[in-house]
Amino acid sequence: MTRKIAVYPGSFDPVTHGHIDIMRRASAIFDEVIVAVLVNRSKTGLFTPQERQDFIHRSVADIKNVRVDSFNGLLVDYMRQREITTAIRGLRAVSDLEYEFQLAHTNRMLYPEMETVFLMPSVNYVYLSSTTVREVAMLGGELDFGVPAHVEKALREKYKK
């Protein structure tokens, strides 16, 4: 029997409760979920790729079939090299659909074996994004709605400087 492995790619800058919700739910569907942190050399994130990976490790330590990795370049190249054909993407609202639809079709043109599985977050996280969390943190607002305590602490430290 072939193991069902999926990649959940993203920048996760920072990881939110919405991301973690998708990871947990995907882990119930797939034998293994690889959370792949995008290392984008043309963009400077708030947190380094290693910090983001560490946040995710701590956030999903109790989920045994989720592991964390990183990649740069095209997702299809990362997946092809590992012989993985399923990507997971979260869809929060209708506004995400057009972009994700185009991305999924582009990925399939580049890697015909690739399928994209869309998961909707739990209703509590539909409007949650890393961008929103960063903005609230920058302005000194409460963050427990959006991120785990260890990420909140790191955000507070970042914006103290």
Task: Tell me if residue 70 is catalytic.
Answer: no
Q: Name the catalytic one among 3, 41, 43, 160.
A: 43
What residues have CB less than 8 Å from 13, skipping those under 6 apart? 45, 46, 47, 52, 130, 134
What residues have CB less than 8 Å from 103, skipping those under 6 apart? 89, 116
Q: Name the catalytic one among 27, 89, 130, 134.
A: 130
Q: Name the catalytic one among 17, 19, 52, 134.
A: 19
**Contacts of the segment 22-26: beta carbons below 8 A, 24+ positions apart:** 22/88, 22/90, 22/119, 22/121, 23/56, 23/59, 23/60, 23/63, 23/66, 24/60, 24/63, 25/119, 26/66, 26/88, 26/117, 26/119
Task: Tell me if residue 43 is catalytic.
Answer: yes
Q: Name the catalytic one among 57, 58, 67, 92.
A: 92
Task: Tell me if residue 130 is catalytic.
Answer: yes
Task: Tell me if residue 42 is catalytic.
Answer: no
Beta bridge partners of residue 66, listed in sequence order: 33
* Strand (E) or helix (H) holding 37: strand 32-38
Which residues are known catalytic residues? 19, 43, 92, 130
